[in-house]
């Protein structure tokens, strides 16, 4: 009997441990790793699902196919395939398949059934696959990535470039929590707003409660009712004494964490954690102010590009580049003409580097530049919703160097469609985020631009790109559009040349020094930090545009040391 008794005790202990493990099982599974791969624009899509007819290669995800020699020049469709199984204890959960980025058009199938299409190579998207998953056998994902679409002079790196993840949620989940924290230096208060978006995938209305806390600042709860098969947005506002809060800045990038637990009938069903910083970046007259102090800031643009990694940038490269950039005396830039990767944003948060993020609408013939474009609104919405909580982001830009194709170079203006595009996108930012500044990078402000053909009344600061006499360009812009800060979002004077001997031209150094004497110029950003792969006109035989102060492998040029000295003089 004793033996039977001890066996029963052991059985219950093991059962209890097993149940405990099931309850604490991770609610996400990474699908990163080795996938099967086929580069072909000719294959019939239906044949991709007939494995016997396809000669699959293998490839690493996340990554870019063009970093591999055999696909280095391939432009077209790349098919990815992977098998996976779903844990048994996920049965009854809401299961989502999320891609953090696929360049540029993605088409996704699960077990041969089309889930949907996403257009846009730098922002996340997901699918609810709850009703399409098979718990009894292996499931198959097929992704078609097409990198035919191209903008700008940077390389259109193809493929699944960022993480792929499976998530398991209860019927109600937190889609996002956005926190705004604005210090008021007159009232000595900080105004906080937390906006929650909740999604209910059940048929019934559900009353939820969110318990929120911020380290040493805030702890409270909020009841939210969510109708069946719908989403809802709710807000909570509160104030705290400014003296009780540590501000986020260049040299003291203090971060707080908002923890929110979603409960239904007392049971925890979801948890969200987001870091943020308390800071105020604003325009007063013709100056920038950070936390009530006037600031003039310089930077460099950085292209998401490396021969080994493409635009799938590992943490060590991001950290090395950004620490190097900051060591030059840089602290503000619109780094790139596309939404940045999350590891860049997180690292900029941690080192006190300010950013303007931009969607990839570029040049004189961009097919996306027309009023109320739903595609560019989608890109903007996906970027802002993903990146809202990052204190490093202080502004949004809706495009770069848009100008008409008809007028002479000296008289360049926005076309009617481009004007409508910029105008409508600036309005759309106001629907998504009123806590940050708005701009677009202009080539026409100092040429044919006027208040009638440029919507400068809707921007908070003027961004101009100058590849000539930057001092004259800034002066002309200020004469036409006084009363707003001017940031030279790009400055250059021809490609710098190869490492290690290439230098900045005397003219360019003179322009950078001269801009310091213009009080309404709040800073400048040289194009660019790194050389980058390109097939754009004017690219050298090497295949890399030599605009960088370091080459594509981060070997420093003489230009690097020149820039460090001239930026040092700016701060004196």
Q: What is the predicted pLDDT for the residue at 142?
A: 97
Q: How confident is the model at residue 356 (pLDDT cuts 50, 70, 90)?
A: very high
Q: How confident is the model at residue 488 (pLDDT cuts 50, 70, 90)?
A: very high
Q: Is the pLDDT of residue 471 over 50?
A: yes
Q: Is the pLDDT of residue 17 over 70?
A: no
For range 376-405, the mean pLDDT: 97
Q: Is the pLDDT of residue 555 over 50?
A: yes
One-character DSSP codes across 260-325? EEEEETTEEEEEEEEEE----EEEETTEEEETTEEE---EE---S--TTTTT---HHHHHHHHHHH
Domain with CATH 2.60.40.10 in the chain: 172-276
Q: What is the predicted pLDDT for the residue at 11?
A: 39
Q: What is the 3-state secondary structure (H, E, C) of 417-442?
A: HHHHHHHHHHHHHHHHCCCCEEEEEE
With residue 50 as reference, give the H or E element that holds it: none
For range 307-316, the mean pLDDT: 97
Interatomic CA distance for residues 39 and 60, integer angstroms? 14
For range 266-284, the mean pLDDT: 97
Look at the block and give the residue holding tokens 């890109």: 379
Q: How confident is the model at residue 571 (pLDDT cuts 50, 70, 90)?
A: confident
Taking alpha carbons only, the member of 450, 439, 441 closest to residue 411 is: 450
Q: How confident is the model at residue 352 (pLDDT cuts 50, 70, 90)?
A: very high
For range 480-492, the mean pLDDT: 97
Instruction: Give the Å distances, CA to CA, from 402 to 157, 225, 363, 425.
Output: 23, 45, 5, 13
One-character DSSP codes across 515-527? HTT-TTEEEEEES
Q: Is the pLDDT of residue 475 over 90?
A: yes
Taking alpha carbons only, the member of 389, 486, 401, 500 closest to residue 441 is: 401
Domain with CATH 2.60.120.260 in the chain: 26-166
Q: What is the predicted pLDDT for the residue at 212?
A: 98
Instruction: Give the Å distances, CA to CA, from 283 to 277, 396, 461, 484, 487.
Output: 19, 14, 8, 8, 12
Q: What is the predicted pLDDT for the residue at 26?
A: 61
* Six-digit token string for 207: 């009353």
**Beta carbons of 152 and 362 less than 8 angstroms apart:** yes
For range 6-29, the mean pLDDT: 45
Interatomic CA distance for residues 12 and 441, integer angstroms? 67
Taking alpha carbons only, the member of 235, 257, 259 closest to residue 246 is: 257
Q: Is the pLDDT of residue 3 over 50?
A: no
CATH of domain 297-570: 3.20.20.80
Name the residue with higher pLDDT: 20 or 353.
353
Q: Is the pLDDT of residue 19 over 60?
A: no
Q: What is the predicted pLDDT for the residue at 197?
A: 98
Instruction: Give the Å distances, CA to CA, from 212 to 107, 180, 221, 438.
Output: 37, 14, 6, 30
Interatomic CA distance for residues 71 and 56, integer angstroms? 14
Q: How confident is the model at residue 378 (pLDDT cuts 50, 70, 90)?
A: very high
**Beta carbons of 307 and 553 less than 8 angstroms apart:** yes
User: By 3-state DSSP, what share of the chain in percent is helix, strand and coil, each rounded to 5?
Assistant: 25, 35, 40
Q: What is the predicted pLDDT for the residue at 20?
A: 31
For range 380-407, the mean pLDDT: 97
Three-class SS of residue 511?
helix
Q: Which architecture characterizes domain 172-276 according to CATH?
A: Sandwich (2.60)
For range 521-532, the mean pLDDT: 98
Q: What is the predicted pLDDT for the residue at 9?
A: 38
Q: Is the pLDDT of residue 263 over 70?
A: yes
Look at the block and give the residue holding tokens 């900029």: 348
* Six-digit token string for 129: 């696959």
Burial label, 457 (beta-carbon count in 10 A; 0-12, 13-18, 19+): exposed
Question: How high is the mean pLDDT of the chain?
Answer: 94
With residue 9 as reference, give the H or E element that holds it: helix 2-23
Percent of the chain with pLDDT over 90: 91
Domain with CATH 3.20.20.80 in the chain: 297-570
Q: How many CB atoms lie within 10 A of CB 513?
A: 13
Residue-wise pLDDT for 67-114, tens only, equals: 999 999 999 999 999 999 999 999 999 999 999 999 999 999 999 999
Residue-wise pLDDT for 164-219, tens only, equals: 999 999 999 999 999 999 999 999 999 999 999 999 999 999 999 999 999 989 99
Q: What is the predicted pLDDT for the residue at 216?
A: 87
Interatomic CA distance for residues 77 and 459, integer angstroms? 39
Interatomic CA distance for residues 278 and 248, integer angstroms? 5
Is the CATH code 2.60.120.260 the one for domain 26-166?
yes
Interatomic CA distance for residues 152 and 362, integer angstroms? 6
Q: What is the DSSP letter of 31?
A: -
Residue-wise pLDDT for 413-442, tens only, equals: 999 999 999 999 999 999 999 999 999 999
Q: Is the pLDDT of residue 382 over 90?
A: yes
């Amino acid at each position: 009997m004793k033996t039977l008794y001890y066996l029963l005790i052991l059985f219950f202990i093991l059962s209890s441990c097993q149940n405990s493990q099931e309850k604490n099982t991770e609610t996400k599974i990474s699908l990163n790793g080795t996938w099967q791969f086929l580069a072909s624009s000719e294959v019939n899509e239906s044949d991709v699902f007939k494995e016997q007819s396809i000669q699959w290669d293998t490839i690493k995800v996340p990554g870019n196919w063009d970093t591999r020699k055999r696909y280095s020049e391939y432009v077209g469709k790349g098919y990815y395939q992977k098998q996976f199984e779903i844990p048994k204890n996920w049965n009854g959960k809401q299961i989502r398949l999320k891609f953090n980025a696929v360049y540029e058009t993605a088409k996704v199938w699960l077990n041969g059934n089309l889930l949907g299409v996403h257009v846009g190579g730098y922002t996340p998207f997901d699918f609810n696959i709850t009703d399409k998953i098979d718990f009894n056998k292996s499931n198959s994902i097929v992704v078609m990535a097409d990198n035919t679409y191209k903008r700008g002079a940077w390389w259109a790196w193809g493929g699944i470039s960022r993480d792929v993840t499976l998530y398991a949620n209860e019927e109600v989940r937190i889609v996002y929590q956005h926190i705004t924290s604005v210090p008021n230096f007159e009232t000595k208060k900080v105004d906080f707003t937390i906006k929650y978006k909740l999604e209910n995938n059940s048929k019934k209305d559900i009353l939820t409660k969110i318990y929120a806390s911020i380290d040493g600042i805030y702890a409270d709860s909020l009841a939210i009712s969510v109708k069946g098969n719908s989403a809802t947005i709710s807000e909570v506002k509160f104030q705290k004494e400014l003296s009780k809060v540590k501000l986020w800045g260049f040299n003291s990038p203090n971060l707080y964490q908002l923890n929110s637990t979603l409960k239904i009938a007392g049971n925890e069903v979801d948890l969200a954690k987001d870091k943020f910083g308390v800071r105020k970046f604003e325009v007063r007259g013709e100056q920038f102010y950070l936390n009530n102090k006037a600031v003039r800031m310089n930077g460099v643009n950085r292209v998401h590009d490396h021969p080994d990694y493409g635009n799938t940038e590992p943490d060590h490269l991001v950290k090395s580049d950004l620490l190097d950039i900051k060591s030059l005396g840089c602290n503000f830039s619109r780094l790139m003409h596309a939404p940045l990767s999350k590891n860049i944003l997180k690292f900029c948060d941690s080192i006190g580097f300010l950013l303007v993020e931009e969607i990839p609408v570029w040049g004189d013939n961009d097919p996306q530049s027309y009023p109320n474009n739903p595609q560019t609104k989608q890109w903007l919405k996906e970027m802002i919703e993903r990146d809202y909580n990052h204190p490093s982001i202080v502004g949004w830009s809706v495009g770069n160097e848009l100008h008409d194709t008809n007028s002479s170079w000296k008289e360049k203006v926005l076309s009617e469609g481009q004007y409508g595009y910029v105008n409508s996108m600036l309005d759309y930012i106001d629907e998504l985020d009123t806590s940050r500044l708005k701009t677009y990078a202009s080539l026409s402000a100092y040429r044919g631009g006027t208040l009638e053909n440029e919507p400068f009344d809707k921007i908070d600061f003027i961004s101009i790109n100058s590849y000539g006499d930057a001092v004259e360009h800034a002066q002309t812009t200020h004469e036409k559009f006084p009363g707003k800060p001017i940031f030279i979002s790009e400055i250059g004077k021809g490609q710098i040349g190869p490492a290690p001997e290439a230098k900045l031209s005397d003219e360019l150094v003179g322009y950078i020094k001269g801009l310091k004497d213009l009080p309404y110029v709040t800073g400048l950003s040289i194009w660019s930090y790194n050389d980058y792969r390109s097939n754009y006109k004017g690219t050298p035989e090497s295949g890399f545009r030599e605009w960088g102060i370091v080459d594509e492998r981060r070997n420093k040029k003489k230009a690097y040391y020149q820039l460090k000295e001239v930026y040092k003089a700016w701060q004196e």
